[in-house]
Amino acid sequence: MLSVFSSPGHYVQGRDATAALGEELRRLGIDGPVLIVAGSSARRLLSATWERSLGEAKIEYSVHPSGGECSMAEIGRITDAVRASGSAAVLGAGGGKVIDSARAVADDLGLPMISCPTTASSDAPCSALSVIYTDAGEFEAYQLVRRNPALVLVDTSAIAQAPARLLVAGMGDALATWFEARTCLAGHVRNMRGGASTRSAGALAELCYRTLLSDGPQALAAVHTRTVTPALERIVEANTLLSGLGFESSGLAAAHAVHNGLTAAPQTHPFLHGEKVAFGVLTQLVLEGAPADEIDTVLDFCDHIGLPTSLADLGLADADRETLSAIATRATAPGETIHNEPFAVDAAMVLDALCAADALGGR
């Protein structure tokens, strides 16, 4: 099995980074026209800067409002807009679902994709993976695309304006990176690109975890005051770049499969991807029989920054056995990443781990 390390073509991060968008696109040989798929907050925060930066670079562009969900219907609508505009590149600006939709469209049409997250709420921006949901918000499939983004441009001034809950959710998603990576590394399983992991990917995943523990609370304090600080820059890098490279080039395991299982319960749909992944981390650690001190460190971190640690925190306080069994069954579906664990996993084991993690989180 060959080792495979995947990454975006170029990564740019910093205060007011959007002002450099036109220059960065020109540097990569992208001279338009560009279709910008944008969420409402991205349009509000960045429209004036797009006009100025892309105007100075003489790059034509148009803006297509995002429908919110990354579903096959939304991908079809964006595809029609790209074709109608004659665009030569697709730019996703907003949260993870907006970026995932733009990525899927660009791949379908064979166009370069530019990723401009306005939140640090997930590790979606750097990868060559889109998570497809139904229009109702239930997980449907992972869609691997042929290329990582040509450019990931992260404007921390915009991220500092986003709700603090989004940064916390991003830390929940990033929290899984090291624990899933080490499981995949130990088991010599294929990563998300179908190859063996590299030592570099594992080191980045571990750095991601260490950064969360050291800088997470300070970064959260920064977004509460809408300020850009060194701690916020490091957490944005951890949530976006380190987690993105770590998960794609090392692999996923139980934590993300539990997330996918949780989406089978409609009560969890109001909760963010990273919030559900964080509880998935606790469930994975229980499933693997992790040491108590490690579980306590994760619980303390989640408590400190406000990530869910119990089923009640995810709207499942009164979930019956049938609901929990449906979650466990979905988490262990054929092809799920939970089967990267170094032992056979079935729904009964996951159900027990869910309940045990819930008990620990309600300590």
Contact of 117 with 154, CB cutoff 8 Å: yes
> In the prediction, which pLDDT does 363 show?
62
Mean pLDDT to the nearest integer, 96-100: 92
Residue 184: predicted pLDDT? 96
Beta-carbon-side half-sphere exposure of residue 30 (alpha carbons within 13 Å): 25
69 pLDDT band, cuts 50/70/90, is: confident
pLDDT of residue 136: 84
B/e letters for 79-90, b = 16+ CB within 10 Å, e = fewer, are bebbeeeebbbb
- Looking at the chain, the whole-number percentage of residues with pLDDT higher than 90 is 91
For 229, phi then psi, to 5°, come to -125, 165
**Which domains are present in the chain?**
10-161 (3.40.50.1970), 164-362 (1.20.1090.10)
Please tell me the predicted confidence (pLDDT) of residue 131. Answer: 87
> Is position 155 annotated in a ligand binding site?
no
Distance CA(140)–CA(263), nearest Å, equals 10
Q: Where are the beta strands (DSSP E) in the chain?
A: 11-14, 34-38, 61-65, 89-94, 113-117, 129-133, 139-144, 151-155
DSSP 3-state assignment of 153?
Answer: strand
Which residue in the list 64, 155, 215, 259 is annotated as catalytic? 259
Q: Is 273 known to be catalytic?
A: yes
Task: Confirm whether 215 is a catalytic residue.
Answer: no
Average pLDDT over residues 248-273: 96
pLDDT at 138: 85
Residue 242 known to bind ligand? no
- Angle (CA) 50-274-128 rounded to 5° is 60
* 58 assigned ligand-binding residue: no
Concatenated DSSP letters of 124-147? -TTSSEEEEE-TTS-EEEEEE-SS
**pLDDT score for 170:** 97
Catalytic residue among 107, 155, 273, 313: 273
- Let me know if 214 is exposed, middle or buried by CB neighbors in 10 A (0-12, 13-18, 19+): middle
The reply to whether 269 belongs to the active site is no
Per-residue pLDDT of 306-354, as tens digits, reads 999 999 999 999 899 999 999 999 999 999 999 999 999 999 999 999 9
- Ligand-binding annotation for 151, yes or no, is no
Q: What is the phi/psi pair of residue 362, to 5°?
A: -90, 20
Task: Give 160-183 as a DSSP string.
Answer: TTS-HHHHHHHHHHHHHHHHHHHH
**Given this model, what pLDDT does residue 362 score?**
81
Burial (Cβ within 10 Å: 0-12, 13-18, ≥19) of residue 200: middle
pLDDT tens track for 7-57:
999 999 999 999 999 999 999 999 989 999 999 999 999 999 999 999 999
Any catalytic annotation for residue 64?
A: no
Query: Is 127 assigned to a binding site?
Result: yes
Chain mean pLDDT for the chain: 95
Catalytic residue among 64, 107, 256, 358: 256
List pLDDT tens digits, range 104-160.
999 999 999 999 999 999 888 999 989 899 888 888 888 889 999 999 999 999 999
Give this prediction's pTM: 0.93
Q: Are 308 and 280 in contact (CB under 8 A)?
A: no
Residues 290, 294, 298, 303, Cα dihedral to 10°: 120
Pick the more confident residue, 136 or 85. 85
